[in-house]
Structure 1
Amino acid sequence: MLLRLLLIVLLLGTATASPAEEAPRIAVLGDSLSAAYGLEREREGWVTLLQDRLTAEGHPHQVINAATSGDTTRQALNRLAPLLEAHSPEVLVVQLGGNDGLRALPPAETRRNLSAIIEMGQSAGAEVLLVGIRLPPNYGPAYNQRFEALFHELAEDYDVPLVPFLLEGIATDDALMQDDRIHPNAKAQPKMLELVWPELVPLL
């Protein structure tokens, strides 16, 4: 009888997941804007600040920063399947497209890749949050308008929330940008989080 009880206890202990394993996950699939380019990623980036805020406000979620500097939508799409399999995120934040635009890739190509990313995330059971970006004016009004519009179209087509521009009120402020005028500095990171937070919270 004692041996049977010990076996039951051992089996229950094996089947019980640790708190870290049980925590719902938020995966951020992004580029340098989420990878905290030029900053201390684990201390200053908006994704790290997101984890801090979730913890402070009592949310159990674990944030997975899957952002890679320089990623295009195609490159991010190619590494999405292993990310979904490894982490099974409850929420997938898709912050991509800037590198496509800076390389003047056809907006239709960017749209196809983002469509595939959203569909893969939703098929895996994740709520998807789309984060948009705008390009410098030197790319021309026609290209810029088409590029910006694709984010709004995708949000409507897939019924996902949208942060229209991650650098709203930031990109035009020299005090919030690094010397390259492309990447936000440490002072900008809390402002980026504030732009994402209202759209993210309803998905938790």
Structure 2
Amino acid sequence: MKSVSAILLPIALVLLSACSGPKLEPLAVDAEIWAFGDSLTYGKGAPQGQDYPAVLAKLSHRRVINEGVSGETTTQGLERLTHLLEYDSPELLILMEGGNDFLRNHDTGLTKANLAQMIELAQSRAIPVVLVGVPEKGIFLSPAELYSELAETYGVIFIEDELTDLLKTPSMKSDTIHLNAAGYRALAEVIHRRLIEVEAL
């Protein structure tokens, strides 16, 4: 018969590993968060004020700036983020971009390189990054592997499957590629929970 310590040790190791991921500094009440991305950040498919950044602002009691541009690719996003960071700097960057690259069959190596440069731009200014995985185009949606690879390389907070799961759920979508108000609320709640888990809130 196993001893109590032999039974509890594996459980303790699992709990420790779950708590050993990256953490963030607590965000001040006047902190500014940038939600950066394309139409899924902008909120296409939902009424005004029901995009995920707007919902996240209410949940977190922080200022969340919607920096979503419909139709934007990562090449365009990299150029835009570079320009924005010349004039301002948030306390946190939520990066969710790449879907238009996949829809237009852009080279995934270029997409990954663009996202890597965006992360590097933020980290060079000591801006923490939350990276949201975006699904590749296909019959069976799954997050592109490049996101998990980037998260591991740069040690950023990573939200891997949740957007894909929402885009697989008809009741959460306004069309084939966009969420509806319920979907954006669910995404905001996921991000809010993760920010609490990593001690940012």
Regarding TM over 0.5, the answer is: yes
Instruction: Choose from 41, 44, 54 the match for 1:37.
Output: 44
Instruction: Choose from 163, 172, 178 the match for 1:176.
Output: 172
Contact between 2:75 and 2:114, CA under 8 Å: does it hold in 1?
A: yes
In 2, distance between residues paired with 1:74 and 1:166? 24
Q: Deviations over 1:59-93 (max 9, x none)?
A: xx321111101111110100112322333111011
1:52 aligns with 2:58: yes
Specify the code of the residue in structure 2 equivalent to 1:54. S
Instruction: Choose from 187, 190, 197 the match for 1:192.
Output: 187
Specify the code of the residue in structure 2 equivalent to 1:34. T
- Cα RMSD of the aligned pairs, angstroms, is 2.0
Q: Deviations over 1:16-71 (max 9, x none)?
A: xxxxxx92211111111110013223x1111100001112xxxxx32111110111
Q: Secondary structure at the match of 2:87?
A: helix
* Aligned position for 1:10: none
1:62 aligns with 2:63: yes
Please state which structure has a larger fraction of its residues in helix: 1
1:128 aligns with 2:129: yes
Q: Secondary structure at the match of 1:76?
A: helix
Deviation of 1:158 after TM superposition, in Å, equals 0.3
Q: Secondary structure at the match of 1:40?
A: coil
Which portions of structure 1, spanning 4 or more consecutive aligned residues, are displaced by more than 4 angstroms? none
> Cα–Cα, structure 1 residues 165 and 97, in superposed 2: closer, same or farther, change >3 Å?
farther
Q: Secondary structure at the match of 2:179?
A: coil
In 1, distance between residues paired with 2:71 and 2:161? 18
Q: Secondary structure at the match of 2:161?
A: coil
Contact between 2:37 and 2:96, CA under 8 Å: does it hold in 1?
A: yes
In 1, distance between residues paired with 2:105 and 2:134? 14
Contact between 2:73 and 2:98, CA under 8 Å: does it hold in 1?
A: yes
Q: Secondary structure at the match of 1:29?
A: strand
Deviation of 1:109 after TM superposition, in Å, equals 0.5
Contact between 2:45 and 2:181, CA under 8 Å: does it hold in 1?
A: no
Give the gaps of 5 or more residues in structure 1.
1-21, 56-60
* Aligned position for 1:25: 32
In 2, distance between residues paired with 1:115 and 1:169? 24
Give the gaps of 5 or more residues in structure 2.
1-28
Deviation of 1:156 after TM superposition, in Å, equals 0.4
Instruction: Choose from 141, 158, 163 the match for 2:159.
Output: 163
Equivalent residues in 2 for 1:32-111 (5 A)? 32-41=39-48, 43-55=49-61, 61-111=62-112
* Aligned position for 1:13: none
- If the length of structure 2 is used for normalisation, what is the TM-score? 0.78
Specify the code of the residue in structure 2 equivalent to 1:173. T
Deviation of 1:132 after TM superposition, in Å, equals 0.8
Structure number, greater radius of gyration:
1
In 2, distance between residues paired with 1:86 and 1:163? 28
Q: Secondary structure at the match of 2:94?
A: strand
